A and B are shown apart, each in its own frame.
Chain A
Amino acid sequence: MMDGGDYCKYVSKTAPRTSELKTLLAAFCVGGVICMIGQGFTDLYTYLLPDAEESMLGALTSMTMIFIGALLTGFGIYDKIGSIAGAGSIVPITGFANSIASPAMEFRKEGIIFGLMAKMFVIAGPVIVTGVVSSVIVGIIYRIIAIV
Chain B
Amino acid sequence: MEWWEYLIKYGKVFLVGGAVCLIGQILINRTKMTSARILVTFLLLGVVLEAVGVFHYIKEWGGAGITVPITGFGSSLAQGAINGSKISLFHAVTFGLASVSGGLTAAIVFGFLVALIFKSKPKKL
Q: Which residues of A contact B (CB under 8 A)?
A: 20, 23-24, 26-36, 38-39, 42, 55, 58-63, 65-67, 70-71, 73-76, 79, 85-88, 90-93, 95-97, 99-101, 104-106, 108-109, 116-117, 120, 122-124, 126-128, 130-132, 134-136, 138-143, 145-146
> Are B110 and A97 in contact, with the CB atoms below 8 A?
yes
Task: Give the interface SS of chain A, mostly helix, strand, loop or mixed.
Answer: helix
Task: Give the interface SS of chain B, mostly helix, strand, loop or mixed.
Answer: helix
A residues in contact with B13, CB < 8 Å? 32, 35-36, 38-39
A residues in contact with B32, CB < 8 Å? none
> Are B92 and A143 in contact, with the CB atoms below 8 A?
yes
Identify the closest chain B residue to A144 (Cβ): B85
Whether A35 touches B35, Cβ cut-off 8 Å, given contacts A62-B106, A105-B119, is: no
> Are A120 and B38 in contact, with the CB atoms below 8 A?
no
A residues in contact with B68, CB < 8 Å? 34-35, 38-39, 61-62, 65, 92-93
